[in-house]
Chains A and B, each alone.
Chain A
Amino acid sequence: MSKRLFVLLTLLASLILGACGGEAPPAAPADQGGSSEGTSNQPAASSNVNDLTIIWAEWDPANYLQQLVNDYTAETGVQVTVVQEPWGSFGDRVFTEFAGKGTSYDLVVGDSQWLGQGATQGHYVELTDIFYTELNGEALAPATVTAYAEYPKGSGRMWAYPTEGDADGWAYRKDLFEDPQEQESFKARYGYDLAVPQTWAQLRDIAEFFTRPDQNLYGVSIYTQKDYDAITMGYQNVLFSWGADWGNPETYKVDGYINSPEAVDALEFYKELYKFTPPGSSNVFWQESIDHYTSGQVAMAMNFFAFFPGLANPASNPYAEQTGFFSNPAGPTGERHAALGGQGMSIVSYISPERQAAAKEFLKWFARDDVQKKWAELGGYTCNATVLNSEEFLNNTPFNRAFSESMQMVKDFWAVPVYGELLEVAQRELHKYVVADEGTAQETLDTIAREHTQIFERAGLLQE
Chain B
Amino acid sequence: MIRTKVRDASDKQPAISRYRSRHVLSDAALKRLFLWPTLALLISINIFPLFYSLYLSFTTYSAIANQPPVWVGLQNYRDILNDSQLWIYFRNTGRFVLLTVSLQTIIGFGLALLLREKFRASGVITTLILIPMMLSPVVVGLFWKLIFDPSYGIFNYLLGYPAGRGPEWLASKELALWAVVIVDVWMWSPFVMLLCLAGLSAIPDYLYEAAEIDRASSLYQFWRITLPQVAPLLLIAVLFRTIEAFKTFDLVMGLTGGGPGDATELVAVNLYRLAFLGQWNTGKASALAYIVLVIIIAVSNIYIKYLNRIKEG
Contacts and interface: CB of A to CB of B under 8 A. Distances in A.
9 contacts: A99-B63, A113-B278, A121-B67, A226-B257, A282-B256, A283-B170, A420-B277, A421-B279, A436-B259
A118 B224 CA distance: 66
A283 B257 contact: yes
A149 B260 CA distance: 35
Contacts of A279: 149-151, 164, 168, 171
Which of B32, B169, B263 lies at the interface centre, i.e. has the most chain A CB atoms within 10 A of its CB? Answer: B263
B262 A428 contact: yes
Interface in A385-425: 417, 419-421, 423-424
Contacts of B278: 91, 113, 228, 419-421, 423-424
B258 interface: yes
Interface of B: 22, 25-26, 28-29, 32-33, 36, 62-67, 85, 145, 148-151, 153, 163-165, 168-171, 173, 176, 253, 256-263, 273, 276-281
Given A1-B26, A95-B280, 8 more contacts: A1-B32, A123-B66, A279-B150, A420-B280, A423-B278, A431-B260, A435-B261, A436-B261
Nearest to B23: A2
Contacts of A283: 145, 170-171, 256-257, 259
Given A5-B29, A424-B279, A282 B259 contact: yes
A99 B168 contact: no
A281 interface: yes
Given A280-B150, A282-B260, A95 B64 contact: yes
Contact of A33 (B66, B171, B280, B281): B66
Contacts of B149: 279-280
A21 B109 CA distance: 51
Nearest to B26: A1
Contacts, number: 122
Contacts of A98: 64
A67 to B, nearest CB: 30
Nearest to A32: B66
A129 interface: no
Which of A123, A283, A297 lies at the interface centre, i.e. has the most chain B CB atoms within 10 A of its CB? Answer: A283
Contact of B257 (A117, A123, A225): A225
A2 B256 CA distance: 59
B281 A216 contact: no
B29 A1 contact: yes
Contact of A435 (B36, B171, B277): B171
Contact of A91 (B63, B66, B262, B277): B277
B277 A228 contact: yes
A279 B161 CA distance: 13
Interface in A403-457: 417, 419-421, 423-424, 428, 431-432, 435-438
A278 interface: yes
B257 A227 contact: yes
A121 B61 CA distance: 13
Nearest to B172: A282
A92 B64 CA distance: 11
Contacts of A5: 25, 29, 33
Nearest to A214: B164
Contacts of B65: 117, 121, 417
B6 to A, nearest CB: 13
Given A121-B64, A421-B279, A297 B151 contact: yes
Q: Give the top 7 A-B pairs by smallest Cβ distance, nearest first.
A: A420-B278, A436-B261, A282-B171, A279-B150, A420-B279, A432-B261, A227-B257
Given A98-B64, A99-B64, A282 B168 contact: yes
A122 B66 contact: yes
A216 B260 contact: no
Contacts of B276: 91-92, 95
A420 B281 CA distance: 9
Contacts of B176: 282
B120 to A, nearest CB: 41
Interface string A1-45: 110010001000000000000000000100001000000000000
Contacts of B169: 280
Contacts of B281: 421
B151 A280 contact: yes
A435 B259 contact: yes
A447 to B, nearest CB: 10
B257 A216 contact: no
A180 interface: no
A33 B67 CA distance: 11
Contacts of B151: 216, 278-280, 297
A225 B150 CA distance: 17
A2 B22 contact: yes
Contacts of A431: 259-261
A213 interface: yes
A28 B67 CA distance: 11
A113 B36 CA distance: 46
Contacts of B260: 226, 282, 431-432, 435-436
Given A95-B280, A435-B260, A436-B261, A213 B29 contact: no
Contacts of A436: 173, 259-263
